[in-house]
Structure 1
Amino acid sequence: MSVRRFIAAATPLLAAAALALAVPAQQADATGPSDLPFSGATTVGLHNTYDPAAFPFLAQALDTGTGLIELDAWTDTVTTEWKVSHSNPLGNANNCVSATSPAQLYSGGANKNLETCLDDIRVWLGAHPGSGPLVVKLELKGGFAANRGMGPTELDSLIAAHLGSAVFRPADLLAKPGGGAYATLDDAARAGNWPSRSALAGRVLLDVIPGTVEEQNPFDTLHTDVEYSRHLRDLVAAGQAGKAQVFPVVHGAAAGDPRSAYAETSIRPWFVVFDGDAAAYLGGIDTGWYDSRHYLLVMTDAQNVAPAISATDPTADQAAARAAQLAAAHASIVSSDWRHLPSVQSQVLPRG
């Protein structure tokens, strides 16, 4: 079914609005979802994908065809391990297993460290080379602990060791097709330097947001977004951009350019990924601003946009209509907990 027929079936009002919009210039030559630039498409993502209550095995979440999975990680500075759990900073509570082959992705003991979750992703991608691209959203619940050997450098090393060339890095966005590099991620994004989705098949883009515990900790004065953006800025300045594995994220919906909240102006151009509440974005924020600059915009809690629908088990028509609505509102990724709707999770819609 074509995107237009799908939207029309979902809701006539959304169809009329979507068809009235002009196709962005960056999408003008696209002939299908795989031909869209990565920033010119809208996909659907899953929140807290590592939770065993959601999926017994992480691979089952990937099997839905989802465009985004989320991993919550803690820095256990006693063992120097990155634990994956919603609320236990010293232990694992997740659906990651120690798979070394596709057949092992659906068996074995779970509750492993972050590197094992990344291994599962790598093994799954190896068995599905035409899938994706996949966004892996990392929430560092308590933030980095660089002074105890668990900072951005160590996270980069762990990701590189377990995902390798599958990662679409900041350096890849910076690289100009004809040689040379853009000065900042902002320059590269605004130039439309994102590859097509087909060129990114089988690959992963990781982004990192500050964690809920970190954001509420009055004694934490250096949050993940600032710490990683400084790290990325400094790596590029040192000619070592290729070491960075992660895109820092501006967390929280805000009007205007939300990067203006950073007093340190030199880190602002290193944010091209934004993440916040869908209802807040639709409450009067100019989301076309993100789309016209080819920034990535993750809209979370999609179910809460009025009229609210189930966070976990809406009907397929309800979820599809909501995805179409937020695609028209310039979301790059529509995120919720729609775990049982692979037909929706696997959708790729034109953005805007």
Structure 2
Amino acid sequence: MTVRRILAAGLLALAAAAVIPAQQAVAAGPGELPFGSATTVGLHNTYDPAAFPYLAQGLDTGTGLIELDAWTDTITKEWKVSHSNPLGNANNCVNASTAAQLYTGGANKNLESCFDDIRVWLGAHPTAGPLVVKLELKGGFAANRGMGPKELDALIAAHLGSAAFRPADLLAKAGGGAYPSLDDAARAGNWPSRAALAGRAMVEVIPGTVEESNPFDTLHTDVEYGRYLRDLAAAGKLGQAQIFPAVHGAAAADPRSRYEAAIRPWFVLFDGDAAAYLNGIDTSWYDSRHYLLVMTDAQNVAPAISGTDPTADQARARAVQLAAAHASVVSSDWRHLPEVQSLVLPRG
């Protein structure tokens, strides 16, 4: 082979390597996996005192996701955390300001206290995470009464602080500049490595069960926050956003087709029933685009296993199965299996 051909072959090889997204790179260990290329295990309704006396105990399992249910109390202008009481708190958040306070004191605090506990716990465990905080707004926003996306962002910014991994962080390019949308950034494989996100949390928001069943609610949480992101980006203020809105519910093809075109690029996180995803939906579509995919009720995938107390082998096998099916998070109520909750698996 001539020198010219050798040089040409080398240049072609370099060019081919340059277009391989970082997301597809082979990682040496879990910490070096891009966030979008890993599968972790999560806990449903982690705020429930029946699950853990203190929220920090749920975090101590090493879980990759916790869930908080919140209500907009428009009378007191407080975000209440409970499963079914829109006007009161029923949770295990204690409003800690130091690590020593995470396991003491009275619980049943407002949403900001839950984020205080998360921030303090992450500060005491700087190599933990990244953590997904799944926030279900049970009845949705009430922006017309001062409890909309802007106010929720302000609460998270004040109480989670620099521990939050925000939409603007995903948009930022390593060499400077930014991608125009979350979709562009995700599809370019711009997720940081898990090690780079250690000690940080990503907040996901989904529409609530009450909101979704309310025939008079015509503006659901996902659409409202998607429009909010679009408008912030247009105004050059995307840095204010603290939350990634999720497309809720398993569906074939691109589930964002239910939204108006202008907000579709602001959704890169999808959340739905694991059994539904495995029933004929091409989940590789999410993985190939580096979108995050939360699979809930993992125990119900056939053959069903216990939702709370499977054996460690059963839960681990289910996590491995759903990781192979391209889940980013495998969620259930496996509260007593820290060896499974702390799993980090290659996705796909």
Shift of 1:238: 0.4
1:76 and 2:73 matched: yes
Rounded Cα–Cα distance in structure 2 between residues aligned with 1:64 and 1:307: 25
Shift of 1:27: 4.0
1:319 and 2:294 matched: no
1:86 and 2:83 matched: yes
Rounded Cα–Cα distance in structure 1 between residues aligned with 2:161 and 2:279: 40
In structure 2, the residue matched to 1:265 is 261
The one-letter code sitting in structure 1 at the alignment partner of 2:298 is A
Shift of 1:45: 0.1
1:253 and 2:247 matched: no
1:55 and 2:88 matched: no
In structure 2, the residue matched to 1:190 is 187
Shift of 1:99: 1.1
Give the TM-score of the pair, scaled to structure 2.
0.93
Instruction: Check conservation: 1:206, 1:246, Cα contact below 8 A.
Output: yes
Instruction: Check conservation: 2:22, 2:190, Cα contact below 8 A.
Output: no
Q: Deviations over 1:194-233 (max 9, x none)?
A: 0000000000000100000000000000000000000011
Report the 3-state secondary structure (helix = DSSP H, G, I; strand = E; otherwise coil) of the residue aligned with 1:45: strand
Q: Deviations over 1:227-261 (max 9, x none)?
A: 00000110011000100000011000000000011
In structure 2, the residue matched to 1:295 is 291
The one-letter code sitting in structure 2 at the alignment partner of 1:294 is H
Instruction: Check conservation: 2:22, 2:189, Cα contact below 8 A.
Output: no
Rounded Cα–Cα distance in structure 1 between residues aligned with 2:161 and 2:95: 17
Shift of 1:44: 0.1
- In structure 2, the CA distance between the partners of 1:149 and 1:32, relative to structure 1 (3 Å rule), is same
Shift of 1:25: 7.2
In structure 2, the residue matched to 1:7 is none
Deviates more, 1:230-239 or 1:25-34: 25-34
The one-letter code sitting in structure 1 at the alignment partner of 2:188 is A
Instruction: Check conservation: 1:169, 1:247, Cα contact below 8 A.
Output: yes
Instruction: Check conservation: 1:207, 1:246, Cα contact below 8 A.
Output: yes
Q: Deviations over 1:167-205 (max 9, x none)?
A: 000000011111111111000000000000000000000
Instruction: Check conservation: 1:189, 1:272, Cα contact below 8 A.
Output: yes
**How many residues matched?**
328
Report the 3-state secondary structure (helix = DSSP H, G, I; strand = E; otherwise coil) of the residue aligned with 2:196: helix
**What are the ranges of 5 or more consecutive residues in structure 2 without an aligned counterpart?**
1-20
Instruction: Check conservation: 1:38, 1:196, Cα contact below 8 A.
Output: yes
Shift of 1:100: 1.1
In structure 1, the residue matched to 2:213 is 216
In structure 2, the residue matched to 1:335 is 331
Rounded Cα–Cα distance in structure 1 between residues aligned with 2:124 and 2:165: 18
Report the 3-state secondary structure (helix = DSSP H, G, I; strand = E; otherwise coil) of the residue aligned with 2:160: helix
Rounded Cα–Cα distance in structure 2 between residues aligned with 1:83 and 1:25: 40
The one-letter code sitting in structure 1 at the alignment partner of 2:212 is E
1:230 and 2:227 matched: yes
**What are the ranges of 5 or more consecutive residues in structure 1 without an aligned counterpart?**
1-23
Larger-gyration structure (1/2):
2
1:161 and 2:158 matched: yes
In structure 2, the residue matched to 1:200 is 197
Report the 3-state secondary structure (helix = DSSP H, G, I; strand = E; otherwise coil) of the residue aligned with 1:200: coil
In structure 1, the residue matched to 2:115 is 118
Q: Deviations over 1:68-95 (max 9, x none)?
A: 0000000000000000000000000000
Identity rate, percent: 84
In structure 1, the residue matched to 2:10 is none
Report the 3-state secondary structure (helix = DSSP H, G, I; strand = E; otherwise coil) of the residue aligned with 1:199: coil
Deviates more, 1:99-108 or 1:33-42: 99-108
Rounded Cα–Cα distance in structure 1 between residues aligned with 2:167 and 2:25: 25
Instruction: Check conservation: 2:249, 2:272, Cα contact below 8 A.
Output: yes
In structure 1, the residue matched to 2:26 is 29
Instruction: Check conservation: 1:27, 1:36, Cα contact below 8 A.
Output: no
The one-letter code sitting in structure 1 at the alignment partner of 2:186 is A
Instruction: Check conservation: 1:57, 1:97, Cα contact below 8 A.
Output: yes
User: Runs of at least 4 residues of structure 1 off by over 6 A?
Assistant: none
Shift of 1:98: 2.0
Shift of 1:324: 0.1
Report the 3-state secondary structure (helix = DSSP H, G, I; strand = E; otherwise coil) of the residue aligned with 2:244: strand
Give the TM-score of the pair, scaled to structure 1.
0.92
Rounded Cα–Cα distance in structure 1 between residues aligned with 2:95 and 2:223: 33
Report the 3-state secondary structure (helix = DSSP H, G, I; strand = E; otherwise coil) of the residue aligned with 2:236: coil
In structure 2, the residue matched to 1:20 is none
The one-letter code sitting in structure 2 at the alignment partner of 1:113 is N
Rounded Cα–Cα distance in structure 2 between residues aligned with 1:205 and 1:104: 23
The one-letter code sitting in structure 1 at the alignment partner of 2:30 is P
Instruction: Check conservation: 2:62, 2:128, Cα contact below 8 A.
Output: yes
Rounded Cα–Cα distance in structure 2 between residues aligned with 1:158 and 1:92: 17
